[in-house]
Structure 1
Amino acid sequence: MERVHLPTTESAVVAIRDLAGEFGVRTTVTDDVGADQVSRRTSAALFTVFDPDGSLPHEAFVELAGSPCVSVRLSPEGDARITVDGVEFHDVPRDSVPGFLRSVYGGPARTEGRLFPPGQWLVVPLPVDETYRELIVDVGLTPWLARSAR
């Protein structure tokens, strides 16, 4: 399976909604549009809608209900922060978000633990030879994280 090209925040939101429908997961989307509304544009003047280059920045926050608890913050710069049961993955390319979520809901995502160095990691392999690993900071694993341990 190839990576899907998602040129806009809105196209990524549509892809997430389609994937959520496929897995029977409810979604809630919050959109922020305009330079004075998106989180990375804190220096924008009040009521400034467009960036200096004339573009209209769009940021979205998507919550996916159920187990695991997943949220996706899509930035106008083309990256995303995905949180799975409290484990945060920063700087995931927007084009990789559908594959990431498919791995979480479709099965290949797993937790791995080691004795040395000690720790548990959430490992999310994507279908295009790309893998994301993040340390699980919380000592107690959620039921979904514990169930996916290998």
Structure 2
Amino acid sequence: MIGGMDHFPTTEVAVTALRTLADEYAREIEVTHDIGADQTSRRSAAGVGVTTDPDGSLPHEAFVEFGGVPRVSVRLYPENDALIEVEGVECPDIARDDVPAFLRSVFGDLAYVRGRRFPPGYFLIVPLPGDRTHREWMPMVNLSPWLSSRVR
């Protein structure tokens, strides 16, 4: 804990879980931390030199990149959500609690791509616990070799 703030451990615990996942799937991991309202991406209006939120807390955001294929990155926001990018496909507003399950589906080859003729395009479909799925639309031109290999 930094200075009695309890926001830092939440992001740090999430990063620790992602490090464990990287070990589990034998993937390299690189983590960048942004700490303080003047550093985090969603608080650009915090003002010059302002590091804490109005409630006195110290927001902590982390950006995680995984090595290997598929290319995956995760931005953990202080608001308990995340932006996950898989092969250039942005999946916003993923609940922080769902991030490990999302990545297990991607790294464990459970995620797939489903095409649609009209309007033309594809969906990246990622199974989540509890019979839930995350669906993200992408245009046909965005199909990388990894995404193409997952088309059903």
TM-score using structure 1 length: 0.90
**Highest RCO, 1 vs 2 (Cα 8 Å, sep ≥ 6):** 1
Aligned to 2:20: 18
Aligned to 2:92: 90
Aligned-residue Cα RMSD (Å) equals 1.4
Aligned to 1:36: 38
Aligned to 1:73: 75
AA aligned opposite 1:31: H
Shift of 1:138: 5.0
Shift of 1:45: 2.5
Shift of 1:46: 2.1
Aligned to 1:4: none
| Residue identity (%) | 58
Larger helix share, 1 or 2:
2
Structure 1 stretches of 4+ with a deviation exceeding 3 A read none
1:11-37 C-alpha deviation (Å, 9 max, x unpaired): 111111101110011011110001111
Q: Distance in 2 between matches of 1:8 and 1:95?
A: 11
**What runs of 5+ residues in structure 1 fail to find an aligned partner?**
1-6
Q: Distance in 2 between matches of 1:74 and 1:115?
A: 34
Shift of 1:116: 3.0
Q: Distance in 1 between matches of 2:136 and 2:73?
A: 15
TM-score using structure 2 length: 0.89
1:78-113 C-alpha deviation (Å, 9 max, x unpaired): 110100001011100111000000000012100011
Q: Distance in 2 between matches of 1:140 and 1:99?
A: 24
Instruction: Confirm or deny: 8 A CA contact 2:83 2:94 kept in the other structure.
Output: yes
**What runs of 5+ residues in structure 2 fail to find an aligned partner?**
1-8
AA aligned opposite 1:123: I
Instruction: Confirm or deny: 8 A CA contact 1:87 1:137 kept in the other structure.
Output: no
